[in-house]
Amino acid sequence: MTIRVLVVDDSVVIRRLVVQALESDPGIEVISTAANGKLALAKVEQLRPDAVTMDIEMPELNGVEAVRELRKRGHQMPIIMFSTLTERGATATLDALSAGASDYVAKPSNVGSINESLKAVADQLIPKIRALVPGARQAPQRAAGVPVRAAVGAPPAPRTAAPRQGARRHPVRAVVLGCSTGGPEALSRVVERLTVPLPVPMLVVQHMPAVFTRQLANRLDRLGPSTVVEAEDGQALVPGGIYIAPGDTHLEVDGKAGNLRARITHGPPVNFCRPSVDVLFRSVLERIGPDLLGVILTGMGADGKAGSGAIAEAGGTIVVQDEKTSVVWGMPGVTAQAGYAHRIVPILEIGQTISALVQASAAPQEVN
């Protein structure tokens, strides 16, 4: 299928950049552009695009307000925000995600040439559009200057997966969680449904830039009884705390169960990601063994699959978000289809599931 996209931005230069970047993919057609949110509303009603790219700061009607109005009118097409890597941009982007935006990409900054800017935009935007638009497939050929990345969206058929059987009973001494596309809102649903702080630390990787992860932690901290912070190097990981990996760094751990400390590292990206879910999962598994609960929420790609497999094979427990409630069933989907997930759960039940599994693991175990 050809994916029909509406590009919305008040800057003529940025509109041209986005149009050129998208049209480097032969499977994407830019059907129109709009200079503000008000014009975008009219063009969506008229043209019914498959996807929309949306600037945040615009006259007449800004991007957050436009997203909110589109969702109010019942339009369900993916909307990808075009954001600046600033505190203000991070705040507005998280507002847009809360209003119903599907995902975001960062505007290129400190990029040397127009060709480099085009490549930066195309590398971010094209895989997300292809993953988010129902029925779209990753282009089989390489667009000019754009690398084809493996495992971008949900995996191909078959798309059903049975939960893993025979989980061993271990006390849960830490919860590790990974997510990407759709993750900020999914995390909100999890955190707000933890009715009491967990008796163990939770460590989280959300694929985001540095400024964004700090803002995300601040927002999540207001949603429930748990204390949510952006992790710092050397920080003690205490029961009841939720620790978000800082953007553009890996979150690992030192110490042992009951005395874990965060370790912030700058190793190379893994699965094209830094922070990486696999890096976190493997690090915690190495330190405390199978006494782990791993959780994979909505997200593009396959980050977390290998780490989940390692935890499951060691005897820990893996929970993944179901396909119906995932924005993209990429990360949870490949994990489930590999046979690593013990439970496949709707997002509104994951917080309760985490609490129940942690509490159950603390109960006296019968010796066989």
**Tens-place pLDDT, residues 29-60:** 999 999 999 999 999 999 999 999 999 999 99
What does the mean pLDDT of the chain come to? 89
Same domain, 322 and 221: yes
Distance of CA 325 to the CA centre of its chain: 13
Would you say how long the chain is, in residues? 368
Residue 138 has pLDDT above 60, yes or no: no
Q: In the listed set 79, 109, 130, which residue is the last one of a domain according to the structure?
A: 130
- What is the reported pLDDT for 87? 86
- Structure token pair of residue 163: 């939960």
User: Mean of the pLDDT values across residues 6-18?
Assistant: 94
- What is the reported pLDDT for 147? 29
Residue 355 has pLDDT above 70, yes or no: yes
Of 279, 230, 285, which Cα lies nearest the Cα of 260? 285
Q: Using one digit for the tens of pLDDT, what is the confidence trace for 168-195?
A: 667 899 999 999 999 999 999 999 999 9
Same domain, 206 and 77: no
CATH number at residue 72: 3.40.50.2300
Q: In the listed set 112, 130, 148, which residue is the last one of a domain according to the structure?
A: 130
Active site residues: 180, 207, 303
CA 100 to CA 54: how far, in whole Å? 12
Residue 159 has pLDDT above 60, yes or no: no
Residue 153 has pLDDT above 50, yes or no: no
Q: Using one digit for the tens of pLDDT, what is the confidence trace for 256-266?
A: 888 999 999 99
SS3 content of the chain, % helix, strand, coil (to 5): 35, 20, 45
Same domain, 78 and 202: no
SS3 279: helix
Q: How many CB atoms lie within 10 A of CB 75?
A: 17
User: Mean of the pLDDT values across residues 146-162?
Assistant: 40
Residue 145 has pLDDT above 60, yes or no: no
SS3 54: strand
- What is the reported pLDDT for 293? 97
CATH number at residue 327: 3.40.50.180
Same domain, 115 and 10: yes
Same domain, 31 and 117: yes
Question: The domain containing residue 302 runs over which residues?
Answer: 172-360
Of 245, 194, 243, 201, which Cα lies nearest the Cα of 223? 194
Same domain, 243 and 94: no
Same domain, 110 and 236: no
User: How far apart, in Å, are the Cα atoms of 333 and each of 163, 176, 317, 351?
Assistant: 12, 17, 16, 19
Pick the range with the lowest mean pLDDT from 128-142, 217-231, 248-262.
128-142
Q: In the listed set 97, 130, 163, which residue is the last one of a domain according to the structure?
A: 130
- What is the reported pLDDT for 306? 98
Q: What is the pTM of this model?
A: 0.88
Domain count, the chain: 2
Residue 365 has pLDDT above 50, yes or no: no
- Structure token pair of residue 298: 């909505």
